[in-house]
Amino acid sequence: MAAELHVELVAADRQVWSGEATLVVARTTSGDIGVMPGHQPLLGVLESGPVTIRTSDGGTVVAAAHGGFISFADNKLSLLAEIAELADEIDVQRVERELETAKAEGDASAERRADVRLRAVAAR
């Protein structure tokens, strides 16, 4: 079993993060899943939620991902999200304003996206 896996986190408009990791945790339609080197091959549907990547150098990368797919084979993990952003890129004050607006307008989808972004920031 290899000590690390190669991870690609890609959004529809850009590559968000790429590198070596020892563990990736993401939310799928079947629930949260952790993928480590040597995991059995998998293909799943991503739910909106934070993605946590434990890097090979001992660091942690957290991103907010909204929908998409996850696949793993041959120690290569691909997370193909409709929308994804690193927690470090998220402007908390702007997201809090967006959350309040979404609640006031009854926009459940926008409220869920804002909530995921805030949870990603809190998890980093």
What are 37-81's pLDDT values in tens digits?
999 999 999 999 999 999 999 999 999 999 999 999 999 999 999
40 Cβ contact partners less than 8 Å away, ≥ 6 residues apart: none
Question: Helix and strand tally (H, E) in the chain?
Answer: 2, 7
What are 9-44's pLDDT values in tens digits?
999 999 999 999 999 999 999 999 999 999 999 999
Phi, psi angle pair for 107, to nearest 5°: -90, 90
Contact 94, 72 (CB under 8 A): no
Each residue of 85-109: b (16+ CB within 10 Å) or e? bbbeebeeeebeebbeebeeeeeee
Does the pLDDT value for residue 90 go beyond 90?
yes
What is the pTM (predicted TM-score) of this model? 0.91
